[in-house]
Structure formats: structure tokens, C-alpha cells
Amino acid sequence: MRTSRTSYPMPVKPASIRCRFPSRTEAESISSPMRRIDIILFQYTPRPGIRTIRGADEGRTGNGDTGISTAGNVDCRIVPSYLDPMEFQQVIRDSETLIRTGEYDEAIRSLTEILAEEPENLPALLTVGIAYTESGRNEEALRALRYYLEREKENDLAWEAIGCTYLRMDRRAEAEVALETARELNPANAAVLRNLSILMGRLGRHGKAYNLLRESYELDSQDRLTMYAMACAYRQSGKPEKAAPLFESLRKNEHLPDDLRRDAAMQSIELTLGWF
């Protein structure tokens, strides 16, 4: 008979920075030319067909019957093993899908069950760190991602994820180091360039922010968040003829967050009316 599954502490969730777009009155009070770009959700989105790590260390620490701290002081109790490695891989793939659709708590529950059985399962550790980041549980994300990076330092996705966590916490220097490391490991990672663009905007380096965003868009013009940021940048820089078709496309995109989709529709209307 299967014993009860792992129990984890559930800390109070910090205020989310999955920013809504400011109202028109609020928007008019923000003078920075990067103000629209700055509020774009900086997130890691698992991409189909990209695995999170080259392999998994299937070793186990401890004696198998005591509490084990895995992703940094996470209280776990070992439960009997009832999944084989192939099932673990499927659970991780399913969890990545849950993250893409915003079901972070369910992804975290599945992944922490794997980590209760295999604390050194690196794909699960990285994916749970990403889920913690996306759900706003930043301290837990840092513990999981640091634990992962102690074991695997050459994965650009891990550096991207921890960079986004630092960015959410407004720890700008650490965010820059992490994101630049991710960029060095994989210069073609468009999401890293988008997040670096956001960071440069916060640092007041608007020219560099625009160039990074444009480079990100050139690498992946179908990423909806990058499209939105690029459309805003085009409008801010006086290029309505380039902004209009992007906003028109975005307002029809059912996968764009509702607040950004509404704003894209509003900006599309404004540009149609000649409000540049």
C-alpha cells in the first residue's frame, strides 16, 4: 500500500509582479520611454523540443528513510519509489506543459514528489526552480536553482531562470551577471536578450535596451512577449507603420495574457485613428 505523499511547507506567496498594464492615467504619468517595455513579464517559458539538461544524475543522498533537504531547506520525507525513470521523464514533460499554461502549483506538486524520491534529479530540480520563479516564490526559486547550478554550470536555461528571479527581486547586479552568463552559453537564446533589454531599461541604458530587444525579435519574431515589447518600442520611437501590424496580430493572439491583449487592441485602434 502506498504511503502518504510528501508534505511541504507552503509559505505565504509574495505579491506577484506579473504586472498588469497601467491604466491610461497611470501610463501618462510615466515618462520613461521604456515604460511599456519595462513592465513586460520577464519569464522563462519552456520551449517545446528543448530538453532542460543533457542527462540526469540518478544518485541519491542519505539513507533512504530520513528527512532530506533537497532544493534548499525544503522539508521532504522519502516515500516508496513507485515511478521508474521513464515515468519521471514524462512527469517532468507534463510539468513543463503546466508551467506554459500557468498551472504552477500543480507543476510544483508533481516535481517535488520526484525530488522526494530523487533529490539529485537535475531536470526536475531545474524545472521546479522555474515553476517557483513563475509563481512568484522567489526565495524557493533561488534555493532550487542555486542547488542545481552547483551541480551543472553549463546550462543557459538555468542561468536565465535565476537571472529572471533576481530581476523579479530587483537585484540588478546579480541579474545582469546571470543573464550575461546565459547569453555567453547560448547567444541564440532570444528570451535572455529580451530580459537583458528589460534590465537595461531599468538601469537607464535605453539605447542598449532597444538594441537588445531588436536582436531578440530578430532571433524569434514569433515570441508573443517579445512581439509586444517590440511593438511598444516601435511606437515609442516614432515608427507607427512598424508597430501597427504587430499590435493587430497580438490582439488576435489568444495565448497573450489578457491585460496585454487588451492593451494591444487599444493601441491598434489608436494607431488606426492616427494617434501616434
Q: Which CATH fold topology does 34-221 show?
A: 1.25.40
pLDDT at 238 over 60: yes
- Of these ranges, 40-54, 62-76, 146-160, the one predicted with the greatest mean pLDDT is 146-160
State residue 47's pLDDT score.
40
Q: What single string gives the DSSP state of each residue in 145-192? A: HHHHHHH----HHHHHHHHHHHHHTT-HHHHHHHHHHHHHH-TT-HHH
pLDDT digits 0-9 by tens, 175-187: 999 999 999 999 9
Please provide the average confidence, as pLDDT, over all residues in the chain.
75
Residue 225 has pLDDT above 90, yes or no: no
Tell me the whole-structure pTM to 2 decimals: 0.65
* CB environment 74-109: b (16+ within 10 A), e (fewer): bebebeeeeeeeeebbebbbebbebbeeeebeebbb
- Is 13's pLDDT higher than 60? no
Is residue 213 within 8 A of residue 193, CB to CB? The reply is yes
Structural domain boundaries of the chain? 34-221
216 and 191 Cβ atoms separated by less than 8 Å: yes
* 271 has a pLDDT exceeding 70: yes
**Phi-psi region at 102: left, alpha or beta (left = phi > 0; alpha = psi -120 to 50):** left
User: Residue 86's pLDDT is what?
Assistant: 77
pLDDT of residue 83: 56
